[in-house]
């Protein structure tokens, strides 16, 4: 299929990409129409064409992330991540309509052949096929044409802004900015019974504003806003103002505040500067509100991707219910979409629209992309066997492959895999199929690294020959089922940590491994770091038990990050703390026998699971590991620090970049530049080529995984937990 791709150097391409796969509980849609939002998408294209200095000024938050990465991983890794970001194409589009061609078995609302509208910058792209979760899809009424339904998402943005404004019949409302969203806000305020004054810098917008329901239209430079408002409101000021502009300046907000009445409402919809003048906002006691996209549910993965709807008794208007409301208004002919649609273009000509938008004085507002209808529907790919068995925990010995494996397939090639894993495998083993959630990203990785095929369904990769290996770097909840399927397909498997999220999943992996001719390795990369090799060499000369204190300061978890979704990540203990518990097992080469762990942060609020923990692990040889993993602290302090004490030995390791060893009354300092990703990939590739034994036997990773589960048990139960 074809999809519009944007690169961070400003290039736009219409690419051939793999077919997407319907998400769990969602649908696959053949797109008939999508809408280019002239304001939002023009801004994205313009930002992409900025030079690096301009990008840094526009996104200082991203600059800080790069600096943090450099502090923890070194500038080489940080720059490689930046290059990957700049080199990776991003999709455009977020509002579309089409025909359902495939329905996931967990979906009960839609049928093949249904006409639907769909939303989401994460899925409703300008592409011929779209894979969309259930609650971002809405049925199209009979009296609504597909080109109209393609506006549903943008209409919902406007509708939610109107709901935030809370207009009463007869209220006088100022709408600042008459772009696509601003015009729809004007229209919907009029539908709600409000009287609307519109303001825009383009005089050509005046007749369109009037067709959308504006009672008065102000063009700065031709009219004085304060005079117009004084005359229109008998000197009181407007009851509310909705700011729909995109500007780094706070001038639109200040302008609106000046003409609001006492205790008026100001609602911000666009990306606009918000340095509020204290005097006017205080003296008028203004109510300032933001309008977040399509409505409640937006940016909540539990709602959007896990289909957990909000009860209507508590949240009357979710984003999905806003979609339905907009489609109902369209069916009644109350939203004037003809007035704001400036042209229709075929998909093949869409890239020219973006060039035109950047031209000074562009008059485009809403541009509808029309998709060809002579496309074959998706055929179901072959499925690999996924039957699960049961069996004992012990895994059979791993023999070297008699011959080099034929190819490596990759499931989940996000920025981490592209930066930290694949560069170290390229050239060491042929690349076969790469599978990503979105077709555009899969196609990009295929081109960048030289894979033979790109796909969005992991079954297409697992259906290949048994001599292929597979690398799994998806989100955590998919690790266990993918590992099982790959092992039962007799693959040699590398899976990023964590191995799985529950003991039941671990038992299923045990059983699958017993039935498999393949092998399994977990991405515990710190074992393979050059500094780790030096530590192990030093420990070998230090008899008796050892003790280690590991301090990790990962920073506070952004509640919008997928790690904050417990169903996807398993939380920070399973997803990250496992690394450091495994490192204790690696250092001491002894069996862990007991762990005592506690949360050092209240388990409530937005993150009701442990994200800051302290733990002490006892080992069979008398060694002891103490871990402090805290989301608090200052980001200027090193992220990771290890202090190791043995007989006649003290070692301090910082971020795997600096190792200081005290021994024999001497101090030796060594610098490193790797956390072990490159070395682990090299060791695995050597094994796959039949030139070395397996670099990390499964039983070692299994013990570390059980230790991690025991840590959670200890936190939940408030006691020390013994390991068998």
pLDDT at 336: 95
pLDDT at 560: 80
Confidence of residue 58 (pLDDT cuts 50, 70, 90): low
pLDDT above 90: residue 254: yes
What per-residue confidence (pLDDT) applies to 687?
96
Q: Which of 290, 315, 330 is the last residue of a domain?
A: 290
Query: How many Å apart are CA 190 and CA 171, to the nearest integer?
Result: 10
Residue where one domain finishes, among candidates 246, 265, 290: 290
> What is the domain-level CATH number for residue 429?
3.40.50.720
Residue 378 in domain: no
Q: What is the dihedral of CA 704, 710, 714, 719, to 10 degrees?
A: -110
C-alpha distances out from residue 678 to 77, 309, 407, 413, 685, Å: 11, 43, 19, 16, 11
In a domain, 398, yes or no: no
Q: Distance between CA atoms of 308 and 381, rounded to whole angstroms?
A: 29
The string of DSSP letters for 190-227 reads HHTT-EEEEE-S-GGGHHHHHHTT-SEEE-BTTB-HHH
Final residue in a domain of this structure, among 472, 502, 522:
522
Query: Residue 580 belongs to a domain with what CATH number?
Result: 3.30.360.10
Whether pLDDT at 376 is above 60: no
pLDDT in tens, 473-521: 999 999 999 999 999 999 999 999 999 999 999 999 999 999 999 999 9
Q: Are residues 109 and 227 in the same domain?
A: no
Predicted confidence at residue 499, as pLDDT, reads 97
What's the longest Cα–Cα distance across the chain?
Answer: 90
Instruction: Give the domain CATH number at 137.
Output: 3.90.180.10
* Pairing mode of beta strands 624-629, 613-619: antiparallel
Q: What percent of the chain has pLDDT over 70?
A: 92
Residue 668: φ, ψ to 5°: -125, 130
Average pLDDT over every residue of 31-38: 92
Position 611 in a domain:
yes
- pLDDT at residue number 210: 97
Closest-CA residue to 266 (of 158, 195, 166)? 166
Cβ pair 692, 683 in contact under 8 A: yes
**Residue of 153 and 41 predicted with greater confidence:** 153
422 and 560 part of one domain: no
The full DSSP string for 429-451 is: S-EEEEE-SSHHHHHHHHHHHT-
Whether residue 49 lies inside any domain: the answer is yes
The SS3 call for residue 294 is coil
- Are 261 and 285 spatial neighbours (Cβ–Cβ below 8 Å)? no
Q: Which residues contact 79 (CB under 8 A, 6 or more apart)?
A: none
Examine the domain organization and report whether 660 and 579 are in the same domain. yes
- pLDDT in the model for residue 392: 39
Q: Binning pLDDT at 50, 70 and 90, where does residue 40 land?
A: confident
Which pLDDT does position 461 carry in this prediction? 87
User: Is residue 395 included in any domain, yes or no?
Assistant: no
- Chain-centroid distance, C-alpha 370: 28
Q: Are residues 414 and 319 in the same domain?
A: no
Residue (of 192, 193, 188) closest to 244 by Cα position: 188
SS3 116: strand
Instruction: Please give the share of the chain, as a percent, with pLDDT higher than 90.
Output: 73
Q: In this structure, are 354 and 210 located in the same domain?
A: no
Asked whether the CA dihedral 333, 109, 475, 463 is positive or negative, the reply is: negative
Q: How many residues does the chain have?
A: 724
| CA 20 to each of CA 342, 506, 580, 645: distance values in angstroms, whole numbers, following the listed order | 30, 30, 36, 52
| 48 in any annotated domain | yes
Burial annotation 437-476 (CB, 10 A radius, 16+ → b, else e)? bbbbbbbbbbebbebebbbbbbbbbbbbeebbbbbbbbbb
Q: Which residues pair with 366 in a beta bridge?
A: 37, 341
Helix locations, 237-360, DSSP H: 251-259, 278-284, 301-304, 319-331, 337-340, 350-357
d(CA 618, CA 546) in angstroms, rounded, equals 11
Interatomic CA distance for residues 184 and 195, integer angstroms: 14
- CB contact at 8 A, 702 and 393: yes
Q: How confident is the model at residue 385 (pLDDT cuts 50, 70, 90)?
A: very low
HEC string for 650-691 = EEEEECCCEEEEEECCEEEEEECCCCCHHHHHHHHHHHHCCC
Return the DSSP state at 249. S
Q: Are residues 511 and 545 in the same domain?
A: no
Name the nearest CA neighbour of 30 among 82, 98, 93, 83: 98
> What are the pLDDT digits (tens) for 157-212?
999 999 999 999 999 999 999 999 999 999 999 999 999 999 999 999 999 999 99
Report d(CA 20, CA 8) in Å as an integer.
23
What is the C-alpha to C-alpha distance for residues 457 and 15, in angstroms, rounded to an integer?
19
The highest-confidence range among 525-529, 559-563, 603-607, by mean pLDDT, is: 525-529
Q: Is residue 217 domain-shared with residue 312, that is, in the same domain?
A: no
Cα 306 to Cα 294, 376, 503, 671, distances in angstroms: 18, 30, 23, 45
Q: Is residue 397 part of a domain?
A: no
Q: How far apart are the first and last CA of the chain?
A: 53
pLDDT at 405 over 50: yes
The residues, any chain, with a CB within 8 Å of residue 708's CB and separated by 6 or more, are: 498, 573, 574, 577, 578, 581
Q: What domain count does the chain have?
A: 4
Task: Quote the CA–CA distance of 119 and 525 in Å, as a whole number.
Answer: 38
Asked whether residue 233 falls in the same domain as residue 327, the answer is no
pLDDT for the residue 585: 97
Residue 384 in any domain: the answer is: no
Q: Find the domain containing 311 and state its range.
A: 2-151+299-370
Strand partners, 595: 617, 721
pLDDT of residue 565: 82
List, for residues 676-723, the tens digit of each pLDDT value.
Answer: 999 999 999 999 999 999 999 999 999 999 999 999 999 888 899 999
| Residue 309 and residue 267 in one domain | no
pLDDT per residue as tens digits for the range 109-127: 999 999 999 999 999 999 9
556 with 637, same domain? Answer: yes
Q: Residues with Cβ < 8 Å from 350, sequence gap 6 or more?
A: 4, 14, 36, 126, 369
Looking at the structure, do residues 199 and 278 belong to the same domain, yes or no?
yes
Cβ within 8 Å of residue 372, ≥6 positions away? 128, 346, 347
Q: Please indicate, yes or no, whether residues 447 and 533 belong to a single structural domain of this protein.
A: no
Ramachandran angles phi, psi of 52, nearest 5°: -60, -40
pLDDT interval class at 53 (50, 70, 90): low
**pLDDT exceeds cutoff 70 at 387:** no
Max mean pLDDT among 8-17, 240-249, 647-656 falls in 647-656
């Amino acid at each position: 299929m074809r999809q519009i791709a944007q690169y961070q150097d400003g290039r736009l391409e219409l690419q051939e990409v793999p077919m997407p796969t319907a998400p769990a509980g969602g649908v696959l849609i053949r797109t008939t129409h999508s809408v280019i939002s002239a304001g939002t998408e023009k801004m994205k294209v313009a930002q992409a064409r900025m030079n690096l200095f301009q990008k840094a000024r526009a996104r200082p938050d991203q600059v800080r992330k790069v600096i943090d990465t450099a502090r923890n991983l070194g500038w080489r890794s940080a720059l490689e991540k930046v290059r990957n970001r700049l080199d990776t194409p991003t999709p455009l589009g977020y509002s579309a309509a089409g025909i359902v061609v495939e329905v996931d078995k967990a979906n009960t609302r839609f049928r093949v052949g249904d006409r639907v509208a769909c939303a989401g910058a994460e899925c409703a792209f300008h592409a011929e096929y779209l894979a969309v979760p259930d609650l971002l899809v809405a049925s199209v009424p009979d009296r609504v044409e597909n080109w109209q339904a393609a506006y549903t998402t943008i209409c919902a943005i406007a509708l939610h802004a109107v709901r935030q404004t809370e207009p009463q019949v007869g209220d006088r409302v100022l709408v600042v900015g008459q772009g696509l969203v601003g015009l729809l806000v004007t229209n919907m305020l009029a539908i709600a019974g409000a009287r609307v004054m519109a303001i825009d810098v383009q005089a050509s917008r005046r007749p369109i504003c009037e067709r959308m329901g504006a009672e008065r239209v102000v063009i700065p430079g031709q009219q004085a806003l304060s005079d117009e408002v004084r005359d229109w409101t008998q000197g009181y000021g407007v009851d509310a103002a909705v700011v729909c502009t995109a500007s780094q300046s706070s001038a639109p907000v200040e302008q609106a505040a000046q003409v609001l009445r006492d205790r008026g409402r100001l609602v911000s919809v666009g990306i606009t500067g918000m340095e509020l003048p204290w005097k006017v906002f205080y003296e008028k006691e203004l109510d300032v509100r933001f309008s977040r996209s399509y409505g409640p549910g937006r940016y909540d993965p539990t709602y959007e991707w896990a289909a957990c709807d909000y009860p209507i008794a508590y949240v009357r208007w979710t984003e999905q219910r806003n979609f339905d409301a907009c489609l109902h208004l369209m069916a009644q002919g109350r939203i004037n979409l003809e007035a704001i649609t400036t042209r229709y273009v075929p998909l093949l000509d869409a890239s020219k629209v973006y060039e035109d938008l950047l031209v000074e004085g562009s008059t485009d507002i809403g541009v509808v992309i029309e998709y060809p209808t002579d496309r074959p529907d998706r055929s179901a790919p072959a499925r690999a066997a996924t039957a699960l068995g049961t069996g004992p925990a012990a895994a059979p010995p791993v023999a070297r492959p008699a011959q080099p494996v034929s190819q490596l397939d990759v499931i989940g090639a996000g920025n981490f895999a592209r930066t930290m894993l694949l560069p170290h495998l390229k050239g060491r083993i042929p690349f076969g199929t790469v599978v990503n959630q979105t077709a555009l990203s899969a196609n990009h990785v295929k081109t960048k690294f030289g894979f033979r095929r790109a796909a969005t369904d992991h079954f297409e990769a697992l259906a290949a020959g048994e001599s292929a290996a597979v690398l799994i770097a998806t989100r955590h909840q998919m690790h266990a089922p993918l590992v099982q399927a790959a092992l039962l397909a007799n693959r040699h498997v590398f899976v990023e940590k964590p191995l799985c999220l529950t003991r039941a999943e671990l038992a299923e992996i045990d059983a699958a491994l017993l039935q498999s001719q393949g092998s399994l390795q977990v991405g515990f990369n710190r074992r393979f770091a050059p500094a780790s090799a030096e530590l192990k060499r030093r420990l070998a000369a230090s008899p008796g038990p050892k003790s280690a204190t590991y301090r990790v300061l990962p920073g506070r978890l952004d509640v919008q990050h997928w790690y904050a979704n417990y169903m996807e990540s398993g939380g920070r203990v399973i997803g990250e703390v496992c690394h450091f518990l495994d490192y204790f097992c690696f250092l001491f080469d002894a069996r862990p026998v007991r762990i005592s762990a506690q949360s050092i942060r209240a388990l409530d609020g937005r993150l009701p699971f442990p994200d800051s923990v302290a733990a002490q692990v006892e080992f069979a040889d008398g060694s002891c590991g103490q871990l402090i993993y805290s989301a608090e602290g200052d980001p200027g302090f090193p992220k990771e620090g290890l202090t190791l004490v043995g007989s006649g030995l003290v070692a301090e390791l910082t971020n795997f970049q600096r190792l200081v060893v005290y021994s024999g009354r001497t101090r030796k300092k060594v610098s490193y530049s790797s956390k072990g990703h490159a070395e682990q990939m090299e060791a695995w590739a050597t094994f796959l080529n039949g030139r070395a034994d397996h670099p990390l036997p499964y039983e070692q990773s299994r013990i570390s995984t059980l230790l991690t589960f025991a840590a959670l048990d200890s936190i939940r139960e408030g006691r020390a937990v013994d390991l068998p």
